[in-house]
Structure 1
Amino acid sequence: MTDNSLSSARVRSLAARMLFSALALSAGLLAAAPASAFDFFDVARRARELAGEKYKAPTSQLPKELRDLKYAEYQQIQPKRDKYLWADGRTAFQIAFHHPGMAFDLPVKINEIDAEGVREIKYDPADFDFGPRQVDPKLLRGLGFAGFRILYPLNDPAKRDDELASFLGASYFRVVGKGQVYGVSARGLAIDTAVPSGEEFPRFREFWIARPANSDKHVVIYALLDSPRATGAYRFTITPGEDTLVDVRSRVYLRAPVAKLGIASMASMYLYGATQPSGTANYRPELHDSDGLAFHAGNGEWLWRPLNNPRRLANSSFMVENPRGFGLQQRARDFRQYEDLDDRYDLRPTLWVEPAGNWGKGRVELVEIPTADETNDNIVAFWVPENPPKPGTALEMNYTLRWTRNEAGLQDPKLARVLQTRRSVGETRGTDLIRRPDGSTAFLIDFSAPAPAKPKDPPLPVSLNFSTGGNADVLENSLRRNPVTGGWRVTLRIKVKDPAKPVEMRAGLVNGQNPVSETWSYQLPGYETGE
Structure 2
Amino acid sequence: MGRAGKLALGVLPLLFAAQSWAFDLNDVAIQAQALAAESYNQPQSRLPDALRELPFAGYQKVRFLEDKAHWRDGKTPFQLYFFHQGMHFDLPVKINEVTAKGTREIKYDPAMFDFSDLQINRDELKDLGFAGFKVIHQLNDVGKHDELMSVLGASYFRIVGKGQVFGLSARGLAIDTALPSGEEFPRFTEFWIEKPQPDRRSLVIYALLDSPRATGAYRMEIKPGRDSVLDVQAKVYLRENVEKLGIAPLTSMYLFGANQPWPRPNYRPQLHDSDGLAIAAGNGEWIWRPLNNPQRLNVSSYRIDNPRGFGLMQRGRDFNQYQDLDDRYELRPSGWVETVGDWGAGHVELVEIPTPDETNDNIVALWRPEKLPAPGEALDVAYRLHFSRDDAGLHDPKLAMVSQTRLSEGDIKQANLIRQADGSTALVVDFVGEELAKRPADSAPQVQVSVDDNGELVEDSLRYNPVSKGWRLMLRVKVKDQARPVEMRAALVEDGKPLSETWSYQLPAHE
2:249 to 262, 265, 269: 265
Q: What is the rounded CA distance, in whole Å, between the counterparts of 2:441 and 2:431 in structure 1?
A: 18
Tell me the equivalent position of 1:60: 45
SS at match of 2:435: coil
2:154 to 157, 170, 173: 170
Q: Give TM-score scaled by structure 2 length.
A: 0.96
Tell me the equivalent position of 1:212: 196
Determine if the alignment matches structure 1 residue 497 to structure 2 residue 474: no
Tell me the equivalent position of 2:503: 520
Deviations 1:258-294 (A, max 9, x none): 0000000010000000010011111111000000000
Q: What is the rounded CA distance, in whole Å, between the counterparts of 1:90 and 1:259 in structure 2?
A: 47
Counting aligned pairs with the same residue, the percent is: 59
Determine if the alignment matches structure 1 residue 90 to structure 2 residue 79: no
Q: What is the rounded CA distance, in whole Å, between the counterparts of 1:207 and 1:17 in structure 2?
A: 24
1:468 to 436, 451, 456: 451
* Alignment of structure 1 residues 356-505 onto 2, 5 Å: 356-449=340-433, 451=435, 461-505=444-488
Deviations 1:45-76 (A, max 9, x none): 10000000110011111111111112222112
> How far apart are residue 512 of structure 1 and its match?
2.2
Assess if the C-alpha contact under 8 Å between 2:20 and 2:100 holds in 1: no
Tell me the equivalent position of 1:328: 312
Tell me the equivalent position of 1:137: 122
Tell me the equivalent position of 2:64: 79
Assess if the C-alpha contact under 8 Å between 2:21 and 2:102 holds in 1: no
Assess if the C-alpha contact under 8 Å between 1:164 and 1:240 holds in 2: yes
SS at match of 1:451: helix
- Where has structure 1 moved over 3 Å in runs of 4 or more? 16-19, 23-29, 455-461
Question: What letter corresponds to residue 255 of structure 2 in structure 1?
Answer: L
> How far apart are residue 83 of structure 1 and its match?
1.1
Q: What is the rounded CA distance, in whole Å, between the counterparts of 1:70 and 1:428 in structure 2?
A: 52
Q: What are structure 2's unaligned runs of at least 5 residues? A: none
Assess if the C-alpha contact under 8 Å between 2:72 and 2:79 holds in 1: yes
The number of residues matched between the two structures is: 508
Assess if the C-alpha contact under 8 Å between 1:452 and 1:460 holds in 2: no
Q: What are structure 1's unaligned runs of at least 5 residues? A: 1-10
> How far apart are residue 461 of structure 1 and its match?
4.2
Deviations 1:222-280 (A, max 9, x none): 00000000000000000000010100000000000000000000100000000100111
Segment drifting more, 66-75 vs 375-384: 66-75
> How far apart are residue 432 of structure 1 and its match?
2.1
Deviations 1:353-410 (A, max 9, x none): 0111110100100000000010100000000011111111110000000000000011
Deviations 1:206-228 (A, max 9, x none): 00011001110000000000000
Over the aligned positions, Cα root-mean-square deviation in angstroms equals: 2.0
Q: What is the rounded CA distance, in whole Å, between the counterparts of 2:311 and 2:44 in structure 1?
A: 34
> How far apart are residue 477 of structure 1 and its match?
1.1
Tell me the equivalent position of 1:7: none
Question: What letter corresponds to residue 374 of structure 1 in structure 2?
Answer: E
* Alignment of structure 1 residues 277-356 onto 2, 5 Å: 277-356=261-340
Question: What letter corresponds to residue 102 of structure 2 in structure 1?
Answer: G
Q: What is the rounded CA distance, in whole Å, between the counterparts of 2:416 and 2:436 in structure 1?
A: 41
Alpha carbons of 1:75 and 1:102: their partners in 2 closer, same or farther (altered >3 Å)?
A: same
Q: What is the rounded CA distance, in whole Å, between the counterparts of 1:213 and 1:24 in structure 2?
A: 22
Assess if the C-alpha contact under 8 Å between 1:177 and 1:244 holds in 2: yes
> How far apart are residue 414 of structure 1 and its match?
2.1
Q: What is the rounded CA distance, in whole Å, between the counterparts of 1:422 and 1:393 in structure 2?
A: 47
Question: What letter corresponds to residue 245 of structure 2 in structure 1?
Answer: L
2:205 to 221, 227, 237: 221
Q: What is the rounded CA distance, in whole Å, between the counterparts of 1:327 and 1:18 in structure 2?
A: 46
Q: What is the rounded CA distance, in whole Å, between the counterparts of 2:77 and 2:228 in structure 1?
A: 15
Assess if the C-alpha contact under 8 Å between 2:94 and 2:130 holds in 1: yes
Question: What letter corresponds to residue 52 of structure 1 in structure 2?
Answer: A
Assess if the C-alpha contact under 8 Å between 1:296 and 1:323 holds in 2: yes
Assess if the C-alpha contact under 8 Å between 1:476 and 1:491 holds in 2: yes
Deviations 1:70-127 (A, max 9, x none): 2222112122112111001101100000000011001111111112210011111011
Q: What is the rounded CA distance, in whole Å, between the counterparts of 2:433 and 2:177 in structure 1?
A: 38
Q: What is the rounded CA distance, in whole Å, between the counterparts of 1:483 and 1:121 in structure 2?
A: 59
Q: What is the rounded CA distance, in whole Å, between the counterparts of 1:139 and 1:251 in structure 2?
A: 37
> How far apart are residue 514 of structure 1 and its match?
1.2
Assess if the C-alpha contact under 8 Å between 2:235 and 2:380 holds in 1: yes
Assess if the C-alpha contact under 8 Å between 2:444 and 2:462 holds in 1: no
> How far apart are residue 134 of structure 1 and its match?
3.2
Q: What is the rounded CA distance, in whole Å, between the counterparts of 1:449 and 1:80 in structure 2?
A: 48
